[in-house]
Structure 1
Amino acid sequence: MEEISGLNFTIKRENILSALSCISGIVERRNVIDALSCVQIKASQNTVTLTASDLDISIIASLEAQIFTTGEVKVSAHMAYDIIRKLPIGLDVEFRLSNTKLSITCGNSSFSVPVVTAGKIFPIEEDHFIFNFELPAADFFNFLTKIKFAMSADDARYNLNGVYIHSYKQTLCCVATDGHRLSSAKIKQKIEDDFGVIVPRKAVTEVLKVLDEKHNLIIKLSQTKIQFECSQYILTSKLVDGTFPDYEKIIPADEGMSLVIDSSKFADAIDRVSVVILDKVKPIKFFLKNNELILHSVSSDSNYATESLEVEYNGKELEIGFNSRYLLEVLSCIKGKCELIFYDENSAMLIKDRDSKSFLHLVMPMRI
């Protein structure tokens, strides 16, 4: 049996809660390998280090604490998180190891949880990182938030199950697609050489939790791994071993018929018209003519809705259908006016943010 060393420290409840919240998204509540459902807590000098891994993603959080006795221990990550989040706000929490139990005390509350002695937590090993660059965490958070909804959830198309991050001519690009819609973001970024990697969807979800918008983000890349370092967190993930499609070929280069409308007003109208459709997929049809857009929906049990909107449009008359959920997800990312660009009833529609040239969205039509 692994020897259990002493451990005793106090830490601010909010600090360790934030770290455990991030960790609980990576590890499973139960795992056939006990250590993979645990968080390793290590106290040394004035720092408590929390480490967890699911063998594909690992996270290390370094937190300030008052250390009385150094040592380390493994406990259920979700149990620790559930306890800490229920404690009173603004208090310090004391952790003390006694034999095979870890006691957690805060105010008048006291808990005792068993420690795990079997197995070890192995963080994802660092490779020889050949790319290393830095950018504001707020910019990267904004990028991922506005494109992540387009990632595929289809395991059969594993090369689409994430975000494609690549660089080209001093531009950092992030792209996601599921084959029905595509979202991309670009920003000027000084990077020595061009690269292209696919970051898994779970890593995308988890890195958003650790980004502190007041700090910069350091990104390191190897052939098989990516590492994000921001504030007190280091998150390392394996990359998707696959080839992302040449997405630029499907983005129309020709000028199409442009429609301009306030995104919030547009989203509200789509939401109203689609409410009569009770199916999971909520198709909605557009009827376009001079400075007018008519939204129309009919459900399988003959519910009906229609709404007319005044828009800036002087293209030819057009009838085209879309999945309303795809449209609402895009519009939720645009605060002001958006521009919709149409080509014909069988071609994808481009959606642009009139206030930012950094983002572009593409939505395929539906036959209704």
Structure 2
Amino acid sequence: MRATLERAALLKALAHVHRVVERRNTIPILANVLIRAGDGGLRLQATDLDLEVVESVPAEVGQAGATTVPAHTFYDIVRKLPDGSQVSLEMSGERGTVIIRAGRSRFTLQTLPDTDFPDLAAGELPVRFAVGAADFKRLIDKTQFAISNEETRYYLNGIYLHAVDSGGVALLRAVATDGHRLARVEMPAPSGAVGMPGVIVPRKTVAEIQRLVEDPEGEVRVELSPTKIRVSIGQVVLTSKLIDGTFPDYGRVIPAGNDKRLTVDRLEFKSAVDRVSTISSERGRAVKLSLADRKLVLTVTNPDSGNATEEIEVDYDSDPLDIGFNSRYLLDIADQLEGDTALIRLADPGSPTLVQDRDDAPALYVLMPMRV
């Protein structure tokens, strides 16, 4: 194998693929990135057996071939090379090494055979659709914060992506929940997505897709089966296993009868919650919302350090209500809202609360209250 290419192009591709590689690996080949040189240039590939990222890079190939090198070391070498340099890769005459040259720099890396590198065979992916990059990223960005970290409920460790029919309108919907809060975001279903199986995309895959969508004007191509998903973004192809589990019937926890409507300036509310929560304990994080006619009082009481209160004007004309929430969860949801105001619909101190930008907004959030 012998190839030459621009450092910037190689660095960008390595930045995409090397993140998949875990820092600690019991299987040596999984610590490596596969480099394959051919007619189309270089093809870089990395996997952790559940997730695989492949990217093609233009290169002058003097001799076709393939090998694998330590992913993080290779990335660090290329990252530290001078801007604008040309990088050459060449299999050494010595068995099991590759030489990397750029200007006056020369590195020799140990390799492992490319034949040992595992391939995440996707099999048949019958469902296929294309969606605008900005729309797809929005689905993910506005739900991923609610993904559960609790490994025992593994079926909550991802985003549930599925198609629904809502009043005769086909929608592509993303849902995530950790049992304390729920995020549901939807968009018109693209052609090909109607009738797709409901799939749970794992947390690590979600994070990689977020990073790979760099051009909001671009297009994302999605292919999936009940067990695998493939996402193509430009020259990058990400293939991942899906979580094998049943996502709960989330519709049951979305309240329909919350009749107390609170409309508040989003940024003012967020700032007030942030200020009073300064006094809260790391474990508790509870903030009490006391609602009366056109007035909201936020209170935090910490027996160890003191208390804090703040009053803001709001649009609220229902019965007085005291309800508590985790301040961190309130701030997370406020960050996802896009409008100037937040619409919060409440029922009583023990029932789920609904948060949206406005009625019928495409993003909907449910938050469970805390006892305060």
Band the TM-score falls in, shorter-chain normalisation: over 0.9
Deviation at 1:62, TM superposition (A): 1.1
- Cα contact 1:51–1:121 (8 A) shared by 2: no
Report the TM-score when normalising by structure 2.
0.92
Is the Cα contact below 8 Å between 2:47 and 2:53 reproduced in 1? yes
Gaps of 5+ in 1: 1-6
Range with bigger deviation, 69-78 or 79-88: 79-88
Higher mean alpha-carbon deviation, 249-258 vs 288-297, is at: 249-258
The Cα of 1:356 is off from its aligned counterpart by: 7.7
2:205 is matched with: 203
Q: More displaced, 175-184 or 262-271?
A: 262-271
Task: Give, in angstroms, the shift of residue 347 of structure 1.
Answer: 0.9
- Tell whether 2:262 aligns with 1:262: no
Name which of structure 1's ranges 10-19 and 302-311 shifts more when overlaid on structure 2: 10-19
Q: Indicate the SS of the match to 2:274.
A: helix
In structure 1, what is the equivalent of residue 112 of structure 2? 116
SS of residue matched to 1:312: coil
- 2:347 corresponds, among 343, 350, 368, to 343
Deviations, residues 19-57 of structure 1 (Å, cap 9, x unaligned): 222323211123121111110011112421011111111
AA partner of residue 349 (structure 2): E
Q: What are the equivalent positions in structure 2 for 1:112-151 lying under 5 Å apart?
A: 112-117=108-113, 120-151=116-147
> Residue 257 and residue 51 in structure 1: after superposition, are their counterparts in 2 closer, same or farther (change >3 A)?
same
Look up the match of 1:177. Answer: 177
The separation in 2 between residues aligned to 1:258 and 1:13, in whole angstroms, is 56
CA drift of 1:112 comes to 2.4
SS in 1 for 2:369: coil
* AA aligned opposite 1:184: R
1:28 counterpart letter in structure 2:
E
Query: Does residue 1:244 correspond to 2:259, yes or no?
Result: no
Residue 60 of structure 2 is aligned with which of 61, 66, 85?
A: 66
Corresponding residue of 2:157: 161
- Aligned to 1:305, the other structure's residue is in SS state strand
Q: 1:270 to 1:125 in 2, by over 3 A?
A: same
Determine if contact 2:99/2:107 at 8 Å carries over to the other structure: yes
- Is the 8 Å Cα contact of residues 174 and 184 (structure 1) preserved in structure 2? yes
Q: CA deviation at 1:355?
A: 9.3
CA distance in structure 1 between the partners assigned to 2:40 and 2:234 by the alignment: 16
Structure 1 residues 214 and 80 mapped into 2: Cα distance closer, same or farther (>3 Å)?
farther
- Deviations 1:258-287, CA, capped at 9 Å, x for gaps: 112222222111111111124244111111
Pairwise CA RMSD? 1.8
Mean CA deviation greater in 349-358 or 229-238: 349-358
1:173-206 Cα distance to aligned partner (Å, 9 max, x none) = 0000011100011011133424211111111111
Which range moved further: 266-275 or 295-304?
295-304
Name the CA distance, whole Å, in 2 between partners of 1:313 and 1:275. Answer: 26
Structure 2 stretches of 5 or more lacking a match? none
Instruction: Work out the number of aligned pairs and report it.
Output: 362
CA distance in 1, matches of 2:336, 2:6: 35
SS at match of 1:344: coil
1:264–1:335 CA contact under 8 A, matched in 2: no
Could you say which residue in structure 2 is the equivalent of 1:105? 101
Q: 1:312 aligns with which of 307, 310, 315?
A: 315
* 1:215 matched residue in structure 2: 218
- Check whether the contact 2:197–2:226 (CA below 8 A) recurs between aligned residues: no
